[in-house]
Chain A
């Protein structure tokens, strides 16, 4: 018996209406023509190859896709790429120094063993970083840190070490 050959049925061209998106990502001007329904998370990963931004739930619950949109943490899976037109986007790839030296938050995660598989870590770091960069006073009590982390899910370590890492990062950044 001869089986029908396996062949992909993925169309080569999208029939979606295209839209031009121009924005700044990690300090670089970027211009792409993409589908109008492309999510910012997919734009960063598939168009720009910035795969540090992870995609977990795609409905805003897990926090893995958190990036900075005009300086504030936001879910890239709940933002259309076209909505980010003209915005400044910052991703986890921009957090460590160019020579690879870790940012104090990343150092704190390493020191405190705040990651195991690391899937949630980019979103965690971007969210925490945004709160440290805000001018608002930060509540760095146990409950306050839990509140900061409440929009990010980790399924490996539990949160004890991540809480410790936020506390350590606050020390390293002189934010006690």
Chain B
């Protein structure tokens, strides 16, 4: 339960950090360490070099501008959760954050670290897939913008290159009048989700839904956007029958096979239940916002 040996570097600039990272194929970035350090304590991760980015200039803070929330690499979960500007710009974020581990972990763990760790049952990857977030990765050959949908490849695997650092990530603010909801089912509060679902709903004047977004975690080797369920709901009044159709349309998205926690059939039932519940919650919130 002690970490294996590594060389440690605490650079002050992004360029320096990238050089250390590029110097060895097994070098890794250390940010908050709330996923990496336990993995090292378990000897599941065995990096040759740890590049601690906490002292790197320009990697701290949150900016909300022009309809975009920019989150720098060293932003802790709890900072994003409690940021009042973020709360009003996109209340879904604070709601999702309540489910990310526990406060002492959220005090240390970073949003970007969680994205790069890419656990398929984690909440942050789901949030970014749900809202079409963008990741900005900087490497020896420059900077590239990666859409969340193209970032998560598989279990703990992303399209970030080994010598790239995700320096910031971007989320859109919630569209005016949109309703939102997130919930998950876990064995114990704060555990990884068996299934988690996030939802955004917009309603027009006649109560017909458009711009429905649904995504789930815990059901596959990566977070999944539920396109079929979204298509089933757009243009409907979100009546009980419509929700049933959407829930059925989502079943094929569950590919996570039976594991020690639960079975694939139970995950499918959970997914359907959460879709029905959360679309309703999001729709009620959209109605409440339209009355404001």
- Which A residues between 55 and 84 are near B, CB-CB below 8 angstroms? 57-60, 63, 66, 69, 72-75, 77-80, 82-83
A37 to B43, CA, bound (A): 13
Nearest residue, chain A, Cβ from B7: A17
The answer to whether A19 has its CB under 8 Å from any CB of chain B is yes
Provide the bound-state CA to CA distance between A37 and B38, in Å: 13
Closest chain B residue to A15, Cβ basis: B5
Partner of B33, one of A17, A36, A80, A130: A80
**Interface residues as binary, B86-114 with A (CB distance below 8 Å gives 1, 0 otherwise):** 00000000000000011111011000000
Contacts of A39 in B (CB 8 A): 2-3, 37, 41
- Report the separation of the CA atoms of residues A117 and B238 in the bound assembly, to the nearest whole angstrom: 54
A16 CA to B5 CA in the complex, in Å? 7
- Please classify how large the interface on chain B is, using the bins under 10, 10 to 19, 20 to 34, 35 or more: 20 to 34
A72 in complex: contacting residue of B30, B78, B189, CB < 8 Å: B78
Min CB–CB distance B56 → chain A (angstroms): 13
Question: B1 contacts A58, CB within 8 Å?
Answer: yes
Q: Is the CB of B104 within 8 A of A75?
A: yes
A60: B residues at CB distance < 8 A: 34, 37-38, 105
| B237 at interface, CB cutoff 8 A | no
Name the A residues within 8 Å of B38 (CB-CB): 59-60, 78
* B10 surroundings in chain A (CB, below 8 A): 82, 85
Q: Does A150 contact B (CB under 8 A)?
A: yes
User: For this complex, into which size category does the number of interface residues on chain A fall?
Assistant: 20 to 34
- The verdict on A147 contacting chain B, using a C-beta distance below 8 Å, is yes
Expressed in whole angstroms, the minimum distance between the Cβ of A151 and any Cβ of chain B is 3
Whether A131 is near chain B, meaning CB under 8 Å from some CB there, is yes
Query: By the criterion CB–CB under 8 Å, are B103 and A83 in contact?
Result: no
* Residues of B with C-beta under 8 A to A63: 102, 104
- Say yes or no for A127: interface residue by CB 8 A criterion: yes
Task: Give min CB distance, B64 to chain A, whole Å.
Answer: 19
* Distance of A32 from chain B, by nearest CB (Å): 15
Give the distance in Å from the alpha carbon of A57 to the alpha carbon of B102 in the complex.
Answer: 16
Chain B stretch 52-110: residues in CB contact (< 8 A) with chain A: 52, 54, 78, 82, 101-105, 107-108
Binary contact track A107-148/B, C-beta < 8 Å → 1, others 0 = 000000000000000000001001100001000000000111
**B6/A151 in contact, CB under 8 A:** no
B207 at the interface (CB under 8 A from A): no
B8 in contact (CB, < 8 A) = yes
Contact of B41 among A77, A136, A150 (CB under 8 A): A77
Q: Which residues of A contact B108 (CB under 8 A)?
A: 69, 72, 74-75, 78-79
**Are B104 and A151 touching (Cβ within 8 A)?**
yes
- List 15 additional A-B contacts (Cβ < 8 Å) besides A37-B2, A78-B108: A17-B5, A36-B5, A39-B3, A39-B37, A42-B2, A58-B1, A59-B38, A69-B107, A74-B104, A74-B108, A75-B105, A78-B33, A78-B41, A80-B8, A151-B105
Binding site for B on A (CB under 8 A): 16-17, 19, 36-37, 39, 42, 57-60, 63, 66, 69, 72-75, 77-80, 82-83, 85, 127, 130-131, 136, 146-148, 150-151
Q: Return 25 A-B CB contacts under 8 Å, by A number.
A: A16-B5, A17-B5, A36-B5, A36-B6, A37-B4, A42-B2, A57-B1, A69-B107, A72-B78, A72-B107, A73-B107, A75-B105, A78-B105, A79-B33, A79-B108, A80-B33, A82-B10, A82-B52, A83-B30, A85-B10, A127-B104, A130-B103, A131-B103, A150-B102, A151-B104
